[in-house]
A and B are shown apart, each in its own frame.
Chain A
Amino acid sequence: MRHFDRDSAEAILVPLLAVLGAMLVGMILIFTITGYDPFAAYTSLIRGAVGSPTSIGATLLRSTPIIFTGLSVMIAFRAGLFNIGGTGQAVMGLLCGGTVGVYFHGLPGASHWILALVAAAIGGGLWGALAGFLKVARGANEVVVTIMLNYVAIRFGEYLLRLKGPLQEQGSSVPASASFADNARLPVFWRPDPFTEVNVGIIVALLVAGLMWFIVNRTSLGFQIRAVGLQPDAAEYGGMSVTKVTVIGMFMAGALSGLGGAVATLGELERMQKSELGVIQIGFAGIAVALLGRNTAVGCVFAGLLLGALDSGAVGIQKDNALPAGVATKLIGVIQGLIVLFVGADLVFRRLSNRIVDLFGGAEQPAGKTAT
């Protein structure tokens, strides 16, 4: 423990303490409001998250889209932007990817779903770039703009998929598109049970996370993004274009969220459904993922897996009736929000983290630093 330095301890301990704190508040809520046994509820949660191959498969499925939206929020953050528009970008992504999945025919093998994902990335990316453009060209606040774009995207998608809407299956009485072509659906590589099919989405997510790590840390574009995010005036003075970086950063953010929407749809559904659009929560979950992952690509993967586990754990709670019907998913929403709050207001946890490092004999200070 002697070589345990304060910064890397903080990077692990602060998110961990935030999650524990949020879970603790969750227990208090369960006990005081519902009167149910919080320990029984959390036992069901853990069983539902990692208790069996089926649960682990469900956790991987739930994690995949939010790893993408987490990376989306992360890359925007790095460029100094706050992307609350993940939901709208995901909707645009799933509409573009889904359209390729439904209307393109005869594409061989993997080329179809890969093309669908590329279309999703472009669709989501353009939707994100629009927010970036409005910010730099018109001075529009990106927080409000991305939220408005969320609502517009959802309503637009609902219009396309409504009865007699342009993308709705002709002659069907269901507000949904026709089925995706077989090749457009993401290939399944693991079936823990006949009803759980884990598709390659999670592998794509890991590859994209690696790519994001590379772009941020090892390329000139990544350097520009980080420079603009930290010191826009200095970056401009150093010859970089804040305008260009902002639009590209928001394009990348939108593309990542678009992929998140598309993997959820092409991976788990047969078709695009109108009812699916209004309940997409992955944009906000992405904020929790990015913050919990301390705005790094690798952190987003772990945070996405953790929050995905919470999500599938909620299903476990429902199955065991460990909480009143429907309450578990709301509780997970509260816990996500608390995690965001605790990571955001991490001053108190940073002090706690330092205290823990001291306890484990990390009291040795690098020269020039003083203990807090």
Chain B
Amino acid sequence: MSQFIDVWITGLGLATLTFATPLILAALGGLFSERAGIVNIALEGMMTAGAFFGVYVSVQSGSWVVGIIGAIVAGMFFAAIHAVATITFQADQVVSGTAIILIAAGLVNFLNLTLFGTDGSPADFSTPPRIGIGDVQFSVLVPVGFLAVWATWFIIFRTPFGLRLRSVGEHPRAADTVGINVYKMRYIGVLISGAMAGLAGAFISFNVSSYTENMVAGNGFIALAALIFGKWRPVPVMFACLLFGFSQGLASRLSGVAWLPDSLSSPELLTSLPYVITLVALAGFVGKSVGPAAAGKPYVKH
């Protein structure tokens, strides 16, 4: 019985938290960007950048705190490209996002090969400490993720800044008329999304103490799905991320268990579970999910 609790309650619970935290951070980042009217499908690319630079800067500086700053800056760098392309040059936001995904993946793996060589990142470097009681240990970044949910809710719905951010995402022309700088607010929203996606990426690489190619593995897109599923509101988005994190945790726990037939417990099918659940959630339950009214449309100042 106690073994059951260890594996299926504590183990699965911790796995859920571990998988959900980067989703929460990235999805909240996406929330800032999309609430400001800029669709950000490039969360995946910004997470990849964060995953690499978190490790690289931590290795170089010897401090995980500096590593996290590096990851945030890296995420913001790619967010800045997205912002310039979509806000200043009015590029299609999905096209620009696709470009950022390609550039980030290529550039990061280019740097990984050049800076770390074919052996990859070193085995031992500074990572965030783990906290908790007894066997229940998790990264100090896990509570940061949940704190960010509250902070995002507060900023978006309880501050003048949040009101302005939402207004440029809903009706930029009206916001402009009352003197809000639409471009500035949109730049800020996109840059925040880059910072949070960078942090989310660093969580993933710090968690396994290494950077490997393609390690973000679609989590940026799952975060995007969570944002839609949670209807662009912080707390529902958090629950969506917990659901998707749970499906990843479940897949990792079910892998190779004895009482499942061999073909069902195969890693190939189990690792597709999070993606299937995401699909079912998007197609089955969300219904018509209506985002910020002006999201996706460039704003041209007269």
Q: Which residues of A contact B (CB under 8 A)?
A: 29, 33-34, 82, 84, 134, 138-141, 143-145, 147-149, 151-152, 155-156, 158-159, 162, 164-165, 284, 287-288, 291, 324-327, 330-338, 340-341, 343-348
Contacts and interface: CB of A to CB of B under 8 A. Distances in A.
Contacts of B225: 141, 144, 148
A155 B110 contact: no
Contacts of B217: 151
A159 B268 contact: yes
A115 B81 CA distance: 46
Given A337-B99, A338-B103, A345-B96, A145 B283 contact: yes
Given A152-B276, A324-B114, A340 B102 contact: yes
Given A338-B103, A341-B96, A34 B279 contact: no
B94 A143 contact: yes
A159 B106 contact: no
A148 B107 contact: no
Contacts, number: 158
Contact of A33 (B103, B111, B272): B111
Interface in B61-118: 81, 84-86, 89-92, 94-96, 98-107, 109-111, 113-114, 118
A325 to B, nearest CB: 6
B41 interface: yes
Contact of A340 (B99, B279, B283): B99
Contact of B113 (A143, A327, A332): A327
Contact of B110 (A147, A165, A287, A334): A334
Contacts of A333: 102-103, 105-106, 109-110
B275 A155 contact: yes
Contacts of B100: 337, 341
Contacts of A338: 99, 103
Given A33-B111, A143-B41, 14 more contacts: A84-B98, A139-B289, A144-B228, A144-B278, A155-B275, A156-B268, A284-B98, A327-B113, A333-B109, A335-B106, A337-B101, A341-B96, A344-B99, A347-B89
A29 B107 CA distance: 9
Interface string B246-283: 00000000000000001100101101100110110011
A54 to B, nearest CB: 26
Contact of B272 (A82, A156, A348): A156
B288 interface: yes
B129 interface: no
B128 interface: no
B110 A330 contact: yes
Given A138-B283, A162-B268, A336-B106, A152 B275 contact: yes
